[in-house]
Amino acid sequence: MLRRIFTSGSAALVLAFIYLPLLTIIWYSFSAESVNSFPIKAYSLEWYKVMANDDSLLRAVASSLRVAFASTVIALIIGIPATFALHKFEFPGKRMVERIVLMPITLPGIVTGVAMLSFFPRIGVELSLVAVGIGHITFLLAIVVTQLLSRFKRLDPNLEQAAYDLGATPLRAFFTVIIPNIRTAIIGAALLCLVLSMDEIPVTFFLIARDNTLPIEIYGMMRRGITPEVNAISTLIFLATVVILIISQRLSRKTND
Amino acid sequence: MRATLFQYAFGTNQKLNMTTVYSTRAKILLLAPMFTWLTAFLLLPYFFIFIQSFLQSDAFGNVVYSFTAESYIKIFSNKLYYFTLFKTLLMSCFVAVLCVIISLPLCYFIAFKVQSESRKTMLYTLIVLPFWVSYIVRAYSWKIILGQFGILNGFLTYTGLISEPLSFILYSDFATIICLVYIFTPFVAIPIYTAFEQIPKSLVEASKDLGAGSWTTFSRVIIPLALPGIISGATFALVLTMGDFLAPVLLGGPNTLFISNIVQNLFGTSNDKPLGSALGIVILALIVIVLEVSTYFEKKYSSFKS
């Protein structure tokens, strides 16, 4: 009995460690005060109002969204055909290509960041949101490839064969049979890419010029001193993440059916 | 028709047959965009800092094209560099161990004590969820909790446990480590949970039937079988901590300096790109070694073929 209490007690303690900080932010985002003191004396939506009127923050959200959508679309366009090829063909150097694809997520972002910072201007890519986008696409390719490779492996090869038997060209089979069959996995991968791009800091940090992305803007606000406005933004980011996660889980469950 | 049915029933795929449909040109067309992209925007940048690490920088921080190993000599002779490198490695190991210690009880509970499948899924989702929550948001949460006028101090003063706010909590190595453990725990818990789930329940029952207590079963049966998962989780935390430069800036004190902060500085205010590149290359080399060692032990201790 005592042991049972110990096991479930320590599990509950760990869950508390994971969730209390996040719940604290949400709770304090409704505080009316300008410092995060305990206990909260008055509640209000003051900080949400401040946030909604913060121009530089809103610009950062817009920049982040633009970078995230553009990077995700391009990563999918480049990544889907390549993943299909990695799945179907054996060719010399295949292992090597797979390792290279994973490099941006296995190696630390700071090294990738300074490498891009040093090299990009030399090939005419000036530090800007475009450079940030190029950096993001590079690591999103790793996400697209890993996510879709496991889906391709579960795809029934006879579907494609049937398309050929019925006279389809490889190109036609790819767009009318293969892509529609991995549709949910593509949407799932796209959602992951959006979340990761919106959240990326180490590479973005070095490639940014004047326009901040959202996490960099928050980082700046934190360094300038704590303002409870960050509580409000963080709460919204948390909620958005939860919603996206639920959608992608629903989709992956559908894929398994 | 019959052949197809046969293959369908036994799951033999017709790979050989189908590859013939694609011409070599088609294969190249499928792969070329990604390959070109990765070469231009990933391999060449890495290659570039490798070259840059052997160059020099003049008094104005401009990179001068004269080859020398000076930056590497500096790293291994100047205490600031090699000591910080060593300290970061030590801190990373510490963070990795703490993450494992924190993950074990929760993963054990979910994998072996929770009976209902739906509750299992729910609890597992609770572990995975923070993995997707923004890094900056999670780091920020510790800043408001640990601050001098933060919530922890406020709480302790309010309840009368302390009379004055403790000032040492935020801006210290301690705060940095808590924050890193907090951020990287999901990375460690996910592989450990997966490893626990792969252990056949019959082995656990057999151990109990043979008279082993819960603790003996845990330490002599479950832990050894889950070792590859534990190693791979710990490696994630170790490598991620080694590359982190934000937590020390946001939560660390004046003396909290990780190796990545020095790299960041060398590419920023200190403006010595060759030295920064050399340090980056040293970090990469160290991480590649860590990854190789960890893969070796993961394979050595793996009991199940996936």
CA distance A48 to B113: 42
Average pLDDT over residues B194-204: 89
Nearest-CA neighbor of B227 among B299, B289, B306? B299
Q: Given pLDDT bands bounded at 50, 70 and 90, which one contains residue B301?
A: confident
Q: Given pLDDT bands bounded at 50, 70 and 90, which one contains residue A120?
A: very high
Q: Find the CB nearest A24 among B132, B135, B145.
A: B145
CA distance B245 to B258: 7
CA distance B100 to B181: 9
Average pLDDT over residues A13-17: 89
Q: For residue B21, what pLDDT is reported?
A: 63
- % helix / strand / coil in chain A, to the nearest 5? 80, 0, 20
CA distance A144 to A186: 8
Please tell me if residue A213 touches chain B, with a CB cutoff of 8 Å.
no
Q: For residue B305, what pLDDT is reported?
A: 52
Per the prediction, chain A carries an average pLDDT of 88
Helices A214-224 and A183-199, packing angle to 10 deg:
30
Token pair for A216:
């960099």
Q: For residue B125, what pLDDT is reported?
A: 86
Q: Given pLDDT bands bounded at 50, 70 and 90, which one contains residue A31?
A: confident
The pLDDT of residue B121 is above 80: yes
Strand partners, B57: B63
Complex ipTM value = 0.89
The pLDDT of residue B292 is above 50: yes
Residues 6+ apart with CB under 8 A from B181: B95, B98, B99, B102
Q: Cβ of B144 and A36 within 8 Å?
A: yes
CA distance B206 to B300: 24
What is the maximal distance between C-alpha atoms in chain A? 73
Average pLDDT over residues A210-229: 87
Residues 6+ apart with CB under 8 A from B275: B57, B71, B74, B75, B266
Q: Cβ of B250 and A222 within 8 Å?
A: yes
SS3 sequence of A54-67: CHHHHHHHHHHHHH
CA distance B192 to A156: 31
Domain B78-300 fold is MetI-like fold (1.10.3720)
How distant is the Cα of A182 from the closest Cα of chain B, in angstroms? 17
CA distance B94 to B101: 11
Chain A residue nearest residue B8, CA to CA: A158
Q: For residue A250, what pLDDT is reported?
A: 79
CA distance B287 to B46: 15
- Eight-state DSSP code of residue B124: H
Contacts A80 to B, Cβ<8 Å: none
The pLDDT of residue A117 is above 80: yes
Q: Cβ of A245 and B44 within 8 Å?
A: no
CA distance B73 to A109: 25
- % helix / strand / coil in chain B, to the nearest 5? 75, 0, 25
Q: Find the CB nearest B30 among A81, A104, A109.
A: A81
Average pLDDT over residues B95-115: 92
Q: Strands B63-64 and B56-57, how do they pair?
A: antiparallel
Contacts A41 to B, Cβ<8 Å: none
Please tell me if residue A2 touches chain B, with a CB cutoff of 8 Å.
no
Please tell me if residue A101 touches chain B, with a CB cutoff of 8 Å.
yes
Q: For residue B256, what pLDDT is reported?
A: 82
Count of other CB atoms within 10 angstroms of residue B139:
25
Average pLDDT over residues A159-178: 86
Burial of B159 (0-12, 13-18, 19+ CB in 10 A): exposed
Of A75 and B4, the structure prediction assigns the larger pLDDT to: A75
Please tell me if residue A195 touches chain B, with a CB cutoff of 8 Å.
yes
Of A238 and B255, the structure prediction assigns the larger pLDDT to: A238
- Eight-state DSSP code of residue A31: B
Q: For residue B231, what pLDDT is reported?
A: 94
Give the domains, in start order, of chain A with CATH numbers: 54-256 (1.10.3720.10)
- Eight-state DSSP code of residue B57: E
Q: Cβ of B140 and A10 within 8 Å?
A: no
Helices B117-132 and A2-28, packing angle to 10 deg:
40
How distant is the Cα of B225 from the closest Cα of chain A, in angstroms? 20
Q: Cβ of A231 and B144 within 8 Å?
A: yes
Q: Given pLDDT bands bounded at 50, 70 and 90, which one contains residue B94?
A: very high
Chain A residue nearest residue B239, CA to CA: A108
Contacts A241 to B, Cβ<8 Å: 129, 132-134
Residues 160-179 of A with CB under 8 A from B: 160-161, 164, 170
CA distance A251 to A244: 11
Sign of CA dihedral A171, A173, A179, A182: negative
How distant is the Cα of A83 from the closest Cα of chain B, in angstroms? 8
Residues 9-28 of A with CB under 8 A from B: 10-11, 13-15, 17-19, 21-22, 24-25, 28
Q: For residue B148, what pLDDT is reported?
A: 67
The pLDDT of residue B5 is above 50: no
CA distance B168 to B153: 11
Nearest-CA neighbor of A6 among B118, B53, B214? B214
Q: For residue A3, what pLDDT is reported?
A: 75
CB pairs under 8 A between A and B: 254
Residue B52 near residue B273 (C-beta atoms within 8 A): yes
Per the prediction, chain B carries an average pLDDT of 85
Average pLDDT over residues B226-233: 93
